Structure 1
Amino acid sequence: MKKHYRSEKNCLNCDTIVPDKYCPSCGQENLELRENFLHLVLHSVGHYFHFESKFATSIIPLLTRPGYLTKEYFAGKRASHLNPVSMYIFISILFFFLFTANSNSNKKDIIKENAAEENAISKEDAETLKNIVGNTVSEKAGDYTYSLLDNAQAITDSTGNSSKVNTNAAPTTAEGKKSSLTLGGDNAITNSVQTKLRKVMDDDLSSELFKNKLVSHLPKMMFILLPLFALILKLVNYRSKKFYVEHLIYSIHVHSFLFLFGSFLIILDWMLPFMDDWIQLFGVAAILWYIYRSMRNIYSSSRWRTVYKFSLLAFAYSLLMLLSGAIVVVATLYTM
């Protein structure tokens, strides 16, 4: 949208003379004060995310040229592209929105299927009960009921030791359950987690909802792992003279790609649900190639040296993800 600049050359913020569009002292743009609502909203959003010309020059290279934005950033060409942190925030918001929508959609489908199954079972049981009642109720129903009660009392009197057997069996069963719960150790926390997990997994609905809620926490976990990813990069490239902040900027660009590419995969999966397995396979292959290629462009190592560093990075990062995942699993169990 075209901007409307003031004809006056004084800055309204600091009263400095403005020779062009921006104040040379405070940097405020010399725009007209009276704007319509649409222009105000678009200008505010565009100013916050730097959409005007930087969006295309940042997003397209992020997807198609691994490591390019990081090299441009440290070459001093920063005004031509989105700020790494701002870009990361915008892309992560988009990804979280799509990811949450996808998780909620799956949750609703699960609840609907479970409700339909319960209704179907209830109708079937009702029909069976109706047939049984219709076939068995007769004029002699009262006499037949009393006969059953008399027979039951006779059996109880003739087998007086049966209650004793059942009484002795109960502690044995409880003891067996107790021993099975303590197989993982005598730690009370471990036993509590095992019991909670077994209870959730025994119920189909709770199991599916637990899995969906667990998956919904994974993007949040990436926020915590981002600086750790940069630390692993610094350790893997210990001979490099790069500072930690350089590894961090590269990590931000890599995770921005992961979020943006993941958003496209979610949309593609919505459009082509019958190709879900192929989409996931393509996504994994593309991500592995992107990280390998970006590492080679940033750290200028040989092909096999890059493969070696990539393997170390993947191993260490996987361990961190497993540890973080275990923490998230426990937290999810006790927040359902």
Structure 2
Amino acid sequence: MANKPSLITKGRYELKFRGTECLNCGHLLDISDKYCPNCSQANSTKKLVLKDFWDEFFSSLINYDSKLLKTLYALLLKPGTITKDYINGRRVSYTNPFRFLLSLAFLYLLMFSYNNNFSSLDKAAEKYSKNTTTNPISFDLNSGTIKADSTEIKEQVTKGLQKIDSMGLSDVPATKQIQYLDSLGVFNGEYAQNEANKDSIMLADPKTYFESIRNGSGINGYASKMEFFSNMIRHDSLNSFDEAKTKYGVDPALSNKMTYNASDSLLRVIKEPGTFINATLSKLPFVIFFFLPLFAVFIWMVYIRKKYTYTDHLIFSFHNQSLLFILLILSLIIDAIFDTASVWIFLLIFSFYLYKAMRKFYGQGRIKTILKYLFLNTMFTLLALFVVVILFTGSVFTY
């Protein structure tokens, strides 16, 4: 009886404010009930005042800090112990592993984005774009004549046009003229590989050019249409798919719209690579919650003879991933203070920690743990690479 906690607490939880019926759900209460066992509302009939809000706010804050400190202590100094406690029901002392990991992932990515130099990639891309905007061959669309920016190309084109005139083909569309010049070998040499020639053909008569690739299928057809839309966006101020339908007679098919959107996204990625990387990395916290459940399947398969459920393995992976983010955050702080690169040191620490966590949680010998450790880390690396490739590829076409 001496260890029984006192029923009298401060503020609106004092015994004199206790009721015998829950004001929220009507459940019958005992005067010793601090909270309703049915709906969890506080058993208090006292009118709220501003001080009550402040008291509850700081009480909740201190309570969360206590959980946070215990969680950090267990994660850092007792590998595998926190997961054992959590799945055995001792959960009130620790923070929720799913919410804790999400918070750490957001915090790490905010710090990582603040400290990186990805913005410099945008400036480099802009400078490169300015240096590569001139085309060796272009068209005067008003007069329908072919122009060139290089003396060597001008001589090549002039000779080719003379051949065309001598054959009575000067009235054919400029696109056909260029194709004929190419068949005569006018563009042989270093300019045969220059994509600007093809760009110029497209710009001479976009509608006719798209007509020639309209029925293309497969990867080659998709690539040809992407190349067409990319050139029209860059050189003909194409702003939308609706505009492409009007100007070039593009079919309103879903595949064409998807190709246009992919081309537009890819050009923006090339123009703003730093911004693209930051935007993609911001999605990683959400990707983790799809990746870890998949990885937990492999943990479950490796330890299938153990008594643990799939959810237990998932909680184990969440706790260890949380520790990894904690170490990466510490690495960022140290790098910012001392202007160094300490990430590899913390990754080595995590590698040793993970081995100890597996030994402690699953209780197997060194040889078995090492073999399973190597296998799971290999699968983790392969899955991580696969997820990153899918993430960046998907981001390129939806940016």
- Separation in structure 2 between the aligned mates of residue 269 and residue 190 of structure 1, nearest angstrom: 45
Determine the structure 1 residue equivalent to 2:109: 99
Letter in 2 for 1:282: I
Identity %: 27
Q: Which moved more, 1:311-320 or 1:18-27?
A: 18-27
Match of 2:396 among 311, 324, 333: 333
- Residue 74 of structure 2 is aligned to residue 61 of structure 1: yes
- Structure 2: how far apart are the matches of 1:316 and 1:294? 18
Instruction: Give the Å deviation of 1:93.
Output: 2.5
Alpha-carbon offset, residue 310 of structure 1: 0.9
The equivalences for 1:145-160 within 5 A come to none
Please name the residue that 1:251 is paired with: 317
Structure 1: runs of 5+ lacking an equivalent: 123-155, 179-185
Confirm or deny that 1:16 pairs with 2:29: yes
Inter-partner Cα distance in structure 2 for 1:293 and 1:333: 39
1:287 maps onto 2:350 in alignment = yes
Of the three residues 357, 360, 365, the one matched with 1:302 is: 365
State the AA in 2 paired with 1:307. Answer: I
In the alignment, the residues of structure 2 paired with residue 189 and residue 313 of structure 1 have an alpha-carbon distance, to the nearest angstrom, of 41
Q: Does 1:187 align with 2:219?
A: yes
Q: Which has the higher contact order (CA 8 A, sep 6+)?
A: 1
CA contact (8 A) 2:101 2:321 kept: no
**Residue deviations 1:5-59, cap 9 Å, x none?**
2332214433512315334554433465323486177259649xx5163232222
Q: Quick check: 1:17–1:23 contact (8 Å CA) kept in 2?
A: no
Does 1:218 find its partner at 2:284?
Answer: yes
Give the TM-score of the pair, scaled to structure 2: 0.58
Could you list the structure 1 runs, at least 4 aligned residues long, displaced by more than 6 angstroms after superposition: 115-118, 199-202
8 A Cα contact 1:296 1:306, kept in partner:
yes
Q: Which moved more, 1:246-255 or 1:35-44?
A: 35-44
Which whole-Å CA distance do the structure 2 matches of 1:25 and 1:214 have between them?
44
1:260 pairs with 306, 326, 335, which one? 326
Give the residue type in structure 1 aligned to 2:159.
Answer: N
Q: Is it true that 1:110 corresponds to 2:107 in the alignment?
A: no
Distance across 1 between alignment mates of 2:382 and 2:221: 22
Give, in whole Å, the separation in 2 of the partners of 1:190 and 1:294. 49
8 Å CA contact 1:254, 1:291 repeated in 2: yes
Work out whether residues 122 and 274 of structure 2, in 8 Å CA contact, stay in contact via their aligned partners in 1.
no
Which of these residues, 142, 159, 162, is aligned with residue 161 of structure 1?
Answer: 159
Cα contact 2:122–2:275 (8 A) shared by 1: no
Cα distance in 1 for partners of 2:104, 2:33 equals 35
Q: Secondary structure at the match of 2:72?
A: helix
SS at match of 1:187: helix
Query: What's the CA shift for 1:177?
Result: 5.6
Aligned residues: 282
The amino acid of 1:77's aligned partner reads R
Q: Which amino acid aligns with 1:236?
A: V
Q: TM-score, with normalisation over the residues of structure 1?
A: 0.67
Alignment match, 1:34: 49
Across the aligned residues of Structure 1 and Structure 2, the Cα RMSD in angstroms comes to 4.2
User: Does the Cα contact within 8 Å between 1:99 and 1:266 map onto a contact in 2?
Assistant: no
Distance 1:288 1:105, change over 3 A: closer
Aligned equivalent of 1:182: none
SS at match of 1:241: coil
- Higher normalized helix content (fraction of residues): 1
Structure 1 pair 258–335 and aligned structure 2 pair: CA distance change class (3 A)? same
Give secondary structure in 1 for the equivalent of 2:272.
Answer: helix
1:125 is matched with none
2:88 paired with 1:78: no
Structure 1 counterpart of 2:102, which letter?
S
